[in-house]
Amino acid sequence: MTRNVGNIDRVIRVIIGVALLSLLFVLEGNLRWIGLIGLVPLLTALVGNCPLYSLVGLSTCPLRTRSSK
Protein backbone atom coordinates (compact mmCIF):
# COMPACT_ATOMS: atom_id res chain seq x y z
CA MET A 1 0.00 0.00 0.00
CA THR A 2 1.51 3.28 -1.04
CA ARG A 3 0.79 6.41 0.91
CA ASN A 4 -1.55 8.79 -0.92
CA VAL A 5 -2.74 11.06 1.90
CA GLY A 6 -0.60 14.10 2.69
CA ASN A 7 -0.03 15.65 6.12
CA ILE A 8 -2.55 18.48 5.77
CA ASP A 9 -5.13 16.02 4.45
CA ARG A 10 -4.46 13.76 7.44
CA VAL A 11 -5.01 16.58 9.94
CA ILE A 12 -8.29 17.52 8.25
CA ARG A 13 -9.40 13.88 8.32
CA VAL A 14 -8.65 13.61 12.05
CA ILE A 15 -10.64 16.77 12.80
CA ILE A 16 -13.61 15.58 10.73
CA GLY A 17 -13.42 12.09 12.23
CA VAL A 18 -13.42 13.37 15.81
CA ALA A 19 -16.26 15.77 15.03
CA LEU A 20 -18.36 12.95 13.58
CA LEU A 21 -17.57 10.63 16.50
CA SER A 22 -18.69 13.33 18.91
CA LEU A 23 -22.20 12.90 17.46
CA LEU A 24 -22.38 9.66 19.46
CA PHE A 25 -22.44 11.75 22.63
CA VAL A 26 -24.36 14.80 21.40
CA LEU A 27 -27.32 13.30 19.54
CA GLU A 28 -30.01 11.06 21.00
CA GLY A 29 -31.85 8.08 19.57
CA ASN A 30 -30.89 6.11 16.50
CA LEU A 31 -29.56 9.19 14.71
CA ARG A 32 -26.50 9.23 16.98
CA TRP A 33 -25.08 6.10 15.33
CA ILE A 34 -24.30 8.17 12.24
CA GLY A 35 -21.29 9.32 14.25
CA LEU A 36 -19.62 5.95 13.61
CA ILE A 37 -18.95 7.17 10.07
CA GLY A 38 -16.18 9.19 11.74
CA LEU A 39 -14.12 6.01 11.99
CA VAL A 40 -13.51 6.05 8.23
CA PRO A 41 -11.58 9.35 8.07
CA LEU A 42 -9.73 8.47 11.27
CA LEU A 43 -8.58 5.13 9.90
CA THR A 44 -7.52 6.57 6.55
CA ALA A 45 -5.55 9.27 8.38
CA LEU A 46 -3.90 6.67 10.60
CA VAL A 47 -2.94 4.39 7.70
CA GLY A 48 -2.10 7.21 5.29
CA ASN A 49 -3.92 5.56 2.41
CA CYS A 50 -7.38 6.35 1.08
CA PRO A 51 -8.91 3.59 -1.10
CA LEU A 52 -11.11 6.13 -2.91
CA TYR A 53 -8.03 8.20 -3.81
CA SER A 54 -6.43 5.03 -5.21
CA LEU A 55 -9.45 4.30 -7.41
CA VAL A 56 -9.51 7.85 -8.78
CA GLY A 57 -5.72 8.12 -9.09
CA LEU A 58 -5.48 11.08 -6.72
CA SER A 59 -2.72 11.76 -4.19
CA THR A 60 -2.21 14.63 -1.77
CA CYS A 61 1.12 13.22 -0.65
CA PRO A 62 4.19 15.14 -1.89
CA LEU A 63 6.37 13.37 -4.42
CA ARG A 64 9.54 11.79 -3.13
CA THR A 65 12.58 11.80 -5.34
CA ARG A 66 15.37 9.30 -5.19
CA SER A 67 18.86 10.60 -4.84
CA SER A 68 21.22 9.16 -7.43
CA LYS A 69 24.62 7.96 -6.38
Beta-carbon count within 10 A of 17 CB? 21
- Say what the pLDDT of residue 9 is: 95
- Say what the pLDDT of residue 69 is: 46
The angle that helices 7-26 and 39-47 make with each other, rounded to 10 degrees, is 150
Q: Give the CA distances from residue 6 to residues 9, 18, 25, 31, in Å, rounded to whole numbers and listed in that order.
A: 5, 18, 30, 32
- pLDDT exceeds cutoff 60 at 65: no
Residues 48-52 have a mean pLDDT of 92
Q: HSE-up of 56 (CA within 13 Å, CB side)?
A: 9
Which sequence spans correspond to the domains of the chain? 7-56
- pLDDT exceeds cutoff 70 at 67: no
- pLDDT exceeds cutoff 60 at 26: yes
pTM of the model: 0.82
- pLDDT exceeds cutoff 90 at 17: yes
